[in-house]
């Protein structure tokens, strides 16, 4: 019986060997010949792959949730120099506070720790800025400090305190103040006046009004002894001179004349704008002034004669009167020979001749000349020859039924009143040919835009958080749709192909038209592929 069974076993062995050869040759179901056992196991355990992908998806979801729930970072201070930034980073590392660096002068910390970090830096005297103010004198009295050091510390403290005060202005991002305090002297001729320089870094593209510049000059001058307001120079970080220490004085040089013309126009624009904004509202008036100035120095002399007018230059008047006097000779009194013959009883001389007549002469001389006038006229350069002023003012808006706002310009009466104000404030002169044009046009509401921007900043954090969570959910949906869904379909189709390759359907029922021997052969091949080691041991047992 054993010998009879051996041929059957041999026959079965040959069939198994054929299957084994097919497995080794890799011709079964298109499996690659050099596929490793791990790859074979993974391919035949596709549900494990699906489970692994689901686990990875869960891990990714958890990671996204952690990332989205991470507190955003905000800047503690920005625009710092490298020295201040390095000191702050060192303190954050010491306190074990997470931080990020953005650029060279910006340090970011978690949003919920911003104010605590700022307080910590302030308590440690490490707040970025221009140095220490009067707190430099809060230390205990140090022996051996010279008077020179004390004066230098006082000057440094004044500079820092003034910088901090100026930085309170909304348009100023940073400020530096330099003071020159001369040494006091007992000799009056050696006394020097104090002076100051202020460097401003403005926020964004803002322009500091001239009124604010004047306020800064007055502030610095009032805080320092013996400092005149005219000795305070204010410039911005772009190198533009903001202070007008000297009055608008033209110069004969070309560039100076251009600067004088520009400063003159700016002065007119600032004055007119400040006046109109009190009437039409802040940001609702735009003024532009174009000034034509005389660039020549002219001196003229003129001698004018008026023939129609005669002027009495001199007059001379002579008035003479003469009367005849009796010239009868008289002798020595008491002498007979000297006694006249005709003497009256009272001793008066009696003459028989009639008396002589009186004579008079009058002369009047008058000299006339033509009137004349001599004029000397000097016209310096820099005088205004013509002013051209353009003014744009905003109007009102009316909301229609559909919610659309329509611009309504100002009335002609309002525009005329504004034009009269501009003429009076600018020194309008028709003789020079000055022109003033006023129009009402739609303007951007700066104040409303600022409010909208603030509202946007308030809601920005909420929208950012919503965006973070939304991106996480969207990423998970994309992974499920483009990765998990095709993988599940592929696994289902692979299982179906395997069942068809075995000759049975998903329920194990043989497919019609497939012989039983083929079904058994396919099952044997599938068993060999699922566990090659076990198949090899079975073959070894058969051979032995």
3-class secondary structure per residue, 48-101: HHHHHHHHHHHHHHHHHHHHHHCCCEEEEECCCCHHHHHHHHHHHHHHCCCCEE
Q: What is the mean pLDDT of the chain?
A: 71
Residue 382 CA: distances (Å) to CA of 1, 135, 176, 264, 376: 137, 50, 35, 10, 19
Strands annotated E in 263-324: 285-293, 298-322
Q: In this predicted structure, what is the pLDDT of residue 508? A: 52
Residue 163 CA: distances (Å) to CA of 195, 245, 347: 15, 20, 120
Q: How many percent of the chain have pLDDT more than 90?
A: 10
Q: Is the CB of residue 33 less than 8 Å from the CB of residue 541?
A: no
Reported as a single tens digit per residue, the pLDDT across 425-451 is 999 999 999 999 999 998 865 444 444
3-state secondary structure of 37: helix
The residue that leads in pLDDT, 531 or 384, is 384
Highest mean pLDDT out of 205-214, 219-228, 454-463, 517-526? 219-228
* List of residues 6+ apart from 382 with CB closer than 8 A: 249, 250, 257, 260, 293, 294, 295
Reported as a single tens digit per residue, the pLDDT across 310-338 is 777 778 888 777 765 555 555 555 555 55
Q: In this predicted structure, what is the pLDDT of residue 203? A: 79
Could you tell me the pLDDT band of residue 516, with boundaries at 50, 70 and 90? low
The residue that leads in pLDDT, 4 or 49, is 49
Nearest-5° angle of CA 350, CA 354, CA 358? 120
Q: Is the CB of residue 382 less than 8 Å from the CB of residue 414?
A: no
Q: In this predicted structure, what is the pLDDT of residue 40? A: 46
Best CA proximity match to 215, nearest among 206, 225, 223, 204 = 223
- CB atoms under 10 Å from CB of 401, counted, come to 5
CATH code for 147-248? 3.30.300.30
The residue that leads in pLDDT, 468 or 69, is 468
Q: In this predicted structure, what is the pLDDT of residue 368? A: 73
Fold for the domain defined by 73-124 = Alpha-Beta Plaits (3.30.70)
Shared fold status for 147-248 and 254-304+367-449? yes
Reported as a single tens digit per residue, the pLDDT across 119-175 is 887 777 666 655 666 655 666 556 666 777 778 888 888 888 888 888 888 888 888
Reported as a single tens digit per residue, the pLDDT across 50-77 is 677 677 777 777 776 666 666 677 777 7
Residues 440-467 have a mean pLDDT of: 59
Could you tell me the pLDDT band of residue 114, with boundaries at 50, 70 and 90? confident
* List of residues 6+ apart from 136 with CB closer than 8 A: 153, 156, 157
Residues 171-196 have a mean pLDDT of: 77
Domain regions of the chain by residue span:
73-124, 147-248, 254-304+367-449
Q: In this predicted structure, what is the pLDDT of residue 18? A: 40
Structural class in CATH, domain 254-304+367-449: alpha beta
Q: In this predicted structure, what is the pLDDT of residue 37? A: 47
Q: In this predicted structure, what is the pLDDT of residue 353? A: 56
- CB atoms under 10 Å from CB of 106, counted, come to 15
* List of residues 6+ apart from 242 with CB closer than 8 A: 200, 208, 210, 213, 234, 235, 236
Reported as a single tens digit per residue, the pLDDT across 221-277 is 998 888 888 889 999 888 878 886 555 555 555 557 787 888 888 889 888 988 998
Can you tell me the distance from the alpha carbon of 237 to that of 315, in angstroms, rounded to the nearest whole number?
77
Q: Is the CB of residue 364 less than 8 Å from the CB of residue 315?
A: yes
Nearest-5° angle of CA 339, CA 345, CA 351? 60
Specify the range with the lowest mean pLDDT, choosing from 86-100, 331-345, 530-544.
331-345
Q: In this predicted structure, what is the pLDDT of residue 422? A: 94
Could you tell me the pLDDT band of residue 12, with boundaries at 50, 70 and 90? very low
Residue 445 CA: distances (Å) to CA of 284, 285, 395: 7, 11, 11
Residues 347-370 have a mean pLDDT of: 66
Reported as a single tens digit per residue, the pLDDT across 379-418 is 777 788 899 999 999 888 888 778 788 888 999 999 999 9
Residues 179-208 have a mean pLDDT of: 76
Specify the range with the lowest mean pLDDT, choosing from 98-112, 344-358, 457-471, 478-492.
344-358
Could you tell me the pLDDT band of residue 197, with boundaries at 50, 70 and 90? very high
Can you tell me the distance from the alpha carbon of 103 to that of 328, in angstroms, rounded to the nearest whole number?
136
Specify the range with the lowest mean pLDDT, choosing from 16-30, 341-355, 389-403.
16-30
């Amino acid at each position: 019986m054993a010998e009879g069974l051996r041929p059957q076993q041999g026959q079965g062995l040959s069939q198994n060997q054929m299957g084994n050869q097919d497995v080794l040759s890799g011709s079964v179901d298109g499996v690659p010949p050099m596929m490793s056992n791990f790859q074979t196991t993974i391919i035949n355990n596709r549900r494990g792959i699906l489970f692994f992908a689901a686990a990875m998806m869960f891990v990714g979801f958890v990671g996204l949730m952690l990332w989205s729930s991470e507190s955003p970072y905000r800047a503690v201070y920005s625009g710092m120099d490298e020295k201040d930034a390095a000191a702050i980073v060192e303190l954050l590392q010491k306190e074990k506070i997470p931080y990020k660096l953005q650029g060279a002068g910006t340090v970011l910390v978690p949003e919920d720790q911003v104010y605590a970090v700022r307080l910590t830096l302030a308590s440690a005297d490490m707040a970025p800025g221009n140095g220490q103010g009067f707190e430099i004198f809060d230390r205990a009295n140090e022996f051996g400090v010279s008077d020179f050091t004390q004066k230098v510390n006082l000057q440094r403290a004044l500079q820092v305190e003034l910088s901090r005060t100026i930085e309170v202005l909304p348009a100023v991002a940073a400020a530096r103040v330099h003071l020159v305090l001369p040494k006091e002297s007992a000799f009056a001729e050696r006394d020097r006046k104090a002076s100051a320089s202020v460097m401003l870094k403005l926020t964004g593209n803002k322009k500091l009004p001239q009124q604010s510049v004047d306020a800064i000059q007055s502030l610095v001058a009032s805080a320092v002894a013996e400092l005149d307001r005219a000795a305070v120079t204010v410039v911005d970080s772009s190198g533009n001179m903001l202070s007008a220490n000297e009055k608008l004085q033209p110069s004969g040089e070309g560039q100076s004349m251009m600067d004088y013309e520009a400063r003159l126009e700016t002065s007119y624009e600032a004055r007119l704008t400040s006046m109109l904004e009190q009437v039409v509202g802040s940001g609702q008036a735009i003024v532009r002034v174009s000034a034509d100035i005389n660039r020549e120095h002219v001196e003229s002399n003129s001698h004018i004669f008026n023939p129609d007018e005669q002027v009495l230059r001199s007059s001379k008047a002579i008035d003479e009167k003469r009367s005849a006097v009796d010239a009868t000779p008289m002798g020595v009194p008491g002498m007979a020979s000297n006694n006249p013959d005709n003497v009256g009883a009272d001793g008066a001389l009696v003459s028989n001749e009639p008396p002589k007549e009186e004579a008079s002469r009058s002369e009047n001389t008058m000299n006339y000349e033509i009137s004349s006038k001599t004029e000397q006229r000097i016209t310096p350069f820099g005088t205004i020859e013509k002013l051209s002023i353009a003014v744009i003012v905003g109007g009102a808006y009316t909301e229609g039924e559909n919610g659309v706002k329509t611009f309504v310009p100002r009335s002609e009466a309002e525009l005329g009143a504004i034009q009269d104000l501009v003429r009076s404030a600018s020194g309008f002169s028709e003789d020079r040919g000055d022109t003033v044009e006023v129009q009402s046009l739609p303007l951007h509401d700066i104040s409303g835009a600022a409010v909208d921007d603030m509202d946007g900043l308030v809601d920005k954090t909420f929208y950012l958080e919503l965006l973070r969570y939304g991106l996480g959910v969207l990423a998970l949906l994309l992974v499920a749709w483009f990765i998990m869904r095709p993988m599940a379909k592929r696994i289902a189709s692979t299982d179906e192909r395997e069942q068809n390759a075995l000759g049975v359907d998903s329920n194990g029922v043989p497919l019609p038209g497939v012989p039983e021997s083929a079904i058994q052969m396919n099952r044997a091949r599938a068993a060999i592929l699922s566990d090659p080691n076990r198949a090899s041991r079975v073959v070894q047992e058969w051979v032995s």
